[in-house]
Amino acid sequence: MHLLFSAEGQSWPIRLAGGAERTCRALVAALPMPLQLHTPKIAGSHIYWHAPFVEDVEGATHVLAAEAGAFIYWPVRQFLEITFAPLQAENAEITVLGHLDAPVDGIAALAATLRREAGRRMLTGTLAATGAVEPAPSPASPLPETLVAALRALWSACPDDIVRVTTSRAIMHPAGPVFMAESEARVLHELLWWLRAARSRRDETVLRQTAAIALDKTATRLRDFCHMAQTPDLLFRLSIAMEEPGLPFGALIDEAILAAGRIGAWLDLLIPWNGINEAFRKALD
């Protein structure tokens, strides 16, 4: 099966390789997929966007073994990525979904533009199947309808309180609130993944309580320190839901992961990472 990745007026075919059927089913079910592209901060030679699904690793390929042009899913980061050169040192296992069916030069050029423009403007794209795809029926969510609607709204558009977080010019604003909010969301996202991975080894009540505390803590930080309201309210609602035994933990933890990842992603898109890195280097040198 082939996909078509498009951005900045260009398109690149991607060939799915097979061997990761569960993740590919989740991927295909989410197509066509609108994308907001992110520039890497550590690994370097790839572009990525956040995946609208949660799946465990399949195949367990070390991330540094991914060849240039690999199309990968990085579960704990919840990224879909296209690489264009060997990545810088990181230690993680990822799922290889396929490979770019074109030279990597165009992706490398797109990555250079993305690195320069990140935080200054949003680079968007699409991922779609090249042929007709039979839509898979979406199972009804066991979670409250109002909560599901709020989670879907978070994925469809950046919340107003995140949009406004860069507008303050008070002392050490907007850098302080933006960096704190982004780091809080990122740490919450990773912790929730750890809790999900511990389901077979830990008592569910303990996992629910830990998730509830983590969600409450992040929501409080976003509200009280980062001057946000709409986004922390959703996290507070998820925290309360974690303590309701009638709601299935599996569905709750997956939705909490999706929410935390999406909040971190929206905040990440506001940050001019390359300019900050260049200023940091200059200050150090």
In a domain, 121, yes or no: yes
The pLDDT tens digits for 248-257 are 999 999 999 9
The SS3 of residue 82 is: strand
Please indicate, yes or no, if residue 139 is contained in any of the structural domains.
no
Q: Please, which pLDDT band fits residue 64 given cuts at 50, 70 and 90?
A: confident
Both 120 and 155 in a single domain? no
Measure Cα distances from 38 to 22, 125, 152, 211 in Å: 25, 11, 21, 27
**Which residues, at least 6 apart from 111, have a Cβ–Cβ distance to it below 8 Å?**
39, 45, 46, 47, 84
Residue 136 lies in a domain: no
Q: Is residue 89 part of a domain?
A: yes
Q: What percent of the chain has pLDDT over 90?
A: 85
Which alpha helices (DSSP H) does the chain contain, by range?
21-29, 105-117, 145-156, 160-163, 175-197, 204-224, 230-242, 249-268, 273-284
The DSSP secondary-structure symbol of 49 reads E
Give the C-alpha separation, 184 to 228, whole Å. Answer: 13
Return the H-helix or E-strand segment holding 94: strand 93-100
Continuous H helices in 118-172: 145-156, 160-163
Q: What is the mean pLDDT of residues 78-105?
A: 91
Within 10 angstroms of residue 28's Cβ, the number of other Cβ atoms is 17
More confident residue, 136 or 185: 185
Is residue 135 a part of any domain in this protein? no
Share of the chain above pLDDT 70, in %: 98
Both 32 and 119 in a single domain?
yes
**Regarding predicted confidence, which is higher, 90 or 68?**
68
Considering 103, 129, 155, which residue would you say is the last residue of a domain? 129
Q: Kindly report the pTM of this predicted structure.
A: 0.94
* Domain boundary, last residue among 129, 154, 187: 129
Residues 69 and 178 in one domain: no
Q: Is residue 57 part of a domain?
A: yes
Q: How confident is the model at residue 136 (pLDDT cuts 50, 70, 90)?
A: low
* pLDDT surpassing 90 at residue 18: no
Strand partners, 96: 72
Whether residues 154 and 119 share a domain: the answer is no
Task: Write down the pLDDT at residue 133.
Answer: 67
Model confidence at 14: pLDDT above 80:
yes
Residue that is last in its domain, among 77, 99, 129: 129
140 domain residue, yes or no = no
Question: Please, are residues 167 and 270 in contact by the beta-carbon 8 Å criterion?
Answer: no
**Does 246 map to a domain?**
yes
State the total domains in the chain. Answer: 2
54: domain range?
2-129
